[in-house]
A and B are shown apart, each in its own frame.
Chain A
Amino acid sequence: MADLSIDVAGIASPNPFWLASAPPANTGDQVMRAFDAGWGGAVWKTLGDPIVNTSSRFGALDYAGGKVMGLNNIELITDRPLAVNLREIREVKRRYPKHAVVVSLMTETKRDWQTLVRKVEDAGCDGLELNFGCPHGMCERGMGSSIGQEPKLIAEIASWVKAVARTPVLVKLTPNTGDIVEAAAAARQGGADGVSLINTIKSLMGVDLERMVPNPRVGDGSTNGGYCGPAVKPIALHMVAAIARGMPRYPISGIGGVATWRDAAEFMALGSSTVQVCTAVMHLGYRIVADMIDGLNEWLDAHGMASARELVGRAVPAYREWGDLDINYKVVAHIDPTTCIGCQKCVVACQDGAHQCIFTGPGDRARPPHAHAPGKARAPVPFPFGAVAGDRVPWVDEPECVGCNLCQLVCPVSGCITMQELPGGPKQTWNERVAAGTARVPGGIHDESDAT
């Protein structure tokens, strides 16, 4: 078994799986039950001046029969007295000394921040997370994302906290900003020991068309909330990777749609040391961590990694500018007739949504007028009658296939459509072409007629 223990910005944890600062980490009882289930750490739901919440608070996006692909909330920070939270933090640390207990904070003045930091550190927490991210409610009061959208404020408040903090400080960043690296750089400039991201994305979940009120509905109105869950993972991965690439070795705790060990491994490969989870726990409960621990262990063992630390940042070098990709690399789609079930979703996707190079039935086909390849599309001979789908098995006009992946993405049968590598030219990037003068910016391939 691999060693799953890890630390982020000096906060040690028995494994990379933390509860994010959110409803699952609202109370001491919850955090202790989560630790019993296997979670390595928890970021306590944001402390500050206790607030008043609305009813209702959450909205979800369901997709294609699946529930809660995305979740939105308009719940604010803790509504429980500070003294109660502090007492419970102390109790959790006493009973779980090796687990990571980080406390999320949000308040206003320098004095408030510094007082709050001292109190929670006195309660025994292992680190602090500054909530500069909530895009609903608190931002209207000059907190949350209204700080995270302003690099100068990020740096300034981080420096207030660092001036008194004895434990490591993470700044939780909002994705509702133009350049996430600028925000992370501001946190580092203010002295923060690392960042955690992403906080939720500003969102409206939908509209109740009968009442003409957006969701989640609070009486006769609604407000924008914070969006999270599996749907936001790609946005989060990009922002994590952008910081990992732009600020090498700056500690990151990744957040955004993590639901499985594989999601976690992806965040880690792109530079996160720990991951924080909220929506998946709200949907399925603390128990999901058992598979996260198992799965990551199995994967690390299978890939010869003795420690989860070896995984952190592995994929960062492969995240490049478009201009640094090899434009001579070539793949084409291949449909396995033995596993094809004949749904022909790939045909429609290619014809309507891609590059018109998948056809059905035997016999040659005329290529569309805009085709790159000359002549007709040639059906395979003999025609590949499928094991189960017979002559409903589609075929790929390989010379015309641009290797876009769309057919593979829509195919319901895993492994039926594969993208196969063809010999391309020698590796060459767009930036190399520009540097060599064989292409120019902006625009496409150099056109002789333009030169005259």
Chain B
Amino acid sequence: MSTFLAKLPAGRAEAALPDKKPPMSAAEAKLEAERCLYCADAPCTQACPTSIDVPGFIKRIASGNVCGSARLIFAQNLLGTSCSRVCPVEVLCEGACVLEAWQHKPIAIGRLQRFATETARREAPGLLAPGARGGKRVACVGSGPASLAFAATLALEGHEATVYERRALPGGLNTTGVAPYKLHADAALAEVDWVASLGVRIRTSVEIGRDVAAAQLLAEHDAVFLGLGLGEDTKLGIPGEDGPGVVGATAWIEDVKLRGCAQPPLGHVVVVGGGNTAIDVARECAQLGAASVTMVYRRAPADMSGYAHEMEAARKDGVALVAHARPSAVIRDAAGVVKALRVTVAGAERDLSCDLVAMAIGQSKLRAVATQFPGVALDARGCVVADPTTGTTGHPKVFSGGDCVNGGKEVVNAVAEGRNAARHLLRTWSGTHG
């Protein structure tokens, strides 16, 4: 069977960025698992958007029941492997660990989850099997974590799930946008291939509205899930912004993850923005050997939407921060080469010399696809209006979740929303069939 992993080009720039949290050996995992107190009504489980039974899966690692551990994780989160690496565990499960209150290091829940799911996927490929065919037919638009969770949940129950992806490679932000030192593209695609093995059909390079009409999708399926994600990087709209030397953050990360190392040396880099994507870009540049990396943020450091632990790690990588700075122009020389970013700090103009400017101030909304489905509404921000607990939209057959609904949260939130929509359908259908 041809895999998506096999379609990934070799010699990608991301290879220069090793895992920040490397995999655990079996012995390490057992030792760490033994440290878990096995709390009752555990705060880590409460903190998990997908409500994984954390003490339960850790106890199974400790006992040597790794497949049972993985099965327990997948019961709540079929993308448990990427979540184990991508989740901001510091503010979720590990942040809730009671050991922290005792001045002990929290249990390395993310790394244990990675150990369990990767080990089980490797050693027990048939751990989860697609259900018997003959159920309903569902389609997903977009192949990111929300869609994959939706499709896989239904496929395991015997329903026919097809995922449509307009890009050549599936996986959404896991493949193209998550910082490589958290999750490399090859690991993301290996997970997509595993999801496909659960009975999910994935069709890439198919754009809804261009190659397949929304009406046709609706006519041929019992339900359609919109897991659209977000669009292009937003621009600031300042002079000099268009042209070489100014990149959008997610587009640049995609380059690092999917393309080769042919880029010129990074030189001095300025990153505009204060969110987690801005921090990711800054850290990647620093780790890839940029001469300097400076983040430019318009408000106070405390106002940044990026996680404090990520910013702390960025500082350790050598990233500087200029706060209260408002960019006003990209300065280029006569040949059009970027020389500086002009900012206003405390009423005074300053030119921050640089060779590359990365804009990480958000992504646009993909309004065009959603509105092809009658009854599906967008809110004022351009987000699809859907119930986060059921995924229901204004069209009875259309469901939605993930970044296109929540405006851009964590992978684990997208998984929860996709899974919730699928569970809602399963409940509805089982009710229908009495």
Binding site for B on A (CB under 8 A): 64-65, 341-345, 347-348, 360, 388-389, 392, 412-413
Contacts and interface: CB of A to CB of B under 8 A. Distances in A.
Contacts of A413: 102
A341 B98 contact: yes
Interface of B: 30-31, 34-35, 37-41, 43, 62, 98-99, 101-102
Contacts of B99: 341
A389 B62 CA distance: 26
Given A341-B101, A341-B102, A413-B102, 13 more contacts: A342-B39, A342-B98, A342-B101, A343-B37, A344-B39, A344-B40, A345-B37, A345-B38, A345-B40, A347-B41, A360-B41, A392-B43, A412-B37
B64 to A, nearest CB: 10
Contacts of B41: 344, 347, 360, 392
Contacts of A348: 40
A389 B40 contact: no
Contacts of B38: 345
A342 B43 contact: yes
A389 B98 contact: yes
A426 B434 CA distance: 67
Nearest to A360: B41
Counting chain A CB atoms within 10 Å of each CB, the highest count among B30, B35, B40 belongs to: B40
A385 to B, nearest CB: 13
B35 A388 contact: no
A65 B34 contact: yes
A348 B101 CA distance: 20
B233 to A, nearest CB: 41
A360 B46 CA distance: 16
A389 B100 CA distance: 10
Contacts of A343: 37, 39-40, 98
A360 B41 CA distance: 10
Contacts of A388: 101-102
Contacts of B98: 341-343, 389, 392
A307 to B, nearest CB: 40
A65 to B, nearest CB: 3
A345 B59 CA distance: 14
B104 to A, nearest CB: 9
Nearest to A344: B40
Contacts of A360: 41
Nearest to A66: B34
B65 to A, nearest CB: 13
A412 B38 CA distance: 11
B393 to A, nearest CB: 37
Contacts of B40: 343-345, 347-348
Counting chain A CB atoms within 10 Å of each CB, the highest count among B31, B39, B62, B101 belongs to: B101
Contact of B31 (A65, A342, A345): A65
Contacts of B37: 343, 345, 412
A412 B99 CA distance: 10
Counting chain A CB atoms within 10 Å of each CB, the highest count among B35, B43, B102 belongs to: B102
Contacts of B62: 64
A345 B43 CA distance: 12
A394 to B, nearest CB: 9
A347 B101 CA distance: 18
Contacts of A64: 34, 62
Contacts of A389: 98, 101
Contacts of A65: 30-31, 34-35
B102 A345 contact: no
Nearest to A339: B102
B341 to A, nearest CB: 44
A409 to B, nearest CB: 14
Contacts of A342: 39, 43, 98, 101
A350 to B, nearest CB: 10
Contacts of B30: 65
A388 B43 CA distance: 13
A348 B30 CA distance: 24
Nearest to B33: A65
A412 B39 CA distance: 10
A392 B98 CA distance: 10
Contacts of A344: 39-41
29 contacts: A64-B62, A65-B31, A65-B35, A341-B99, A341-B101, A341-B102, A342-B39, A342-B43, A342-B98, A343-B39, A343-B98, A344-B39, A344-B40, A344-B41, A345-B37, A345-B38, A345-B39, A345-B40, A347-B40, A347-B41, A348-B40, A388-B101, A388-B102, A389-B101, A392-B41, A392-B43, A392-B98, A412-B37, A412-B102
Counting chain B CB atoms within 10 Å of each CB, the highest count among A342, A343, A392 belongs to: A343
3 interchain residue pairs of minimum CB distance: A65-B34, A388-B101, A344-B40
A49 B365 CA distance: 88
A64 B30 CA distance: 9
Nearest to B35: A65
A347 B40 CA distance: 8
Nearest to A349: B40
A388 B31 CA distance: 26
A345 B38 CA distance: 8
A343 B99 CA distance: 9
A303 B34 CA distance: 37
A122 to B, nearest CB: 51
A65 B59 CA distance: 12
Counting chain A CB atoms within 10 Å of each CB, the highest count among B35, B37, B62 belongs to: B37
Contacts of A347: 40-41
A64 B33 CA distance: 9
B313 to A, nearest CB: 25
A387 to B, nearest CB: 9
Nearest to B102: A341
B46 to A, nearest CB: 10
A231 B240 CA distance: 75
A389 B37 CA distance: 15
A304 to B, nearest CB: 35
A277 B67 CA distance: 41
Contacts of B101: 341-342, 388-389
A359 to B, nearest CB: 12
B375 to A, nearest CB: 43
A336 to B, nearest CB: 13
Contacts of A345: 37-40
A439 B45 CA distance: 51
Contacts of A412: 37, 102
A347 B43 CA distance: 14
A343 B100 CA distance: 11
A54 B101 CA distance: 50
Contacts of A392: 41, 43, 98
B33 to A, nearest CB: 8
A404 B210 CA distance: 72
A342 B31 CA distance: 23
Nearest to A388: B101
Contacts of A341: 98-99, 101-102
A392 B43 CA distance: 9
Nearest to B55: A343
A368 B43 CA distance: 26
A190 to B, nearest CB: 48
Nearest to B32: A65
Nearest to A387: B101
A215 to B, nearest CB: 15
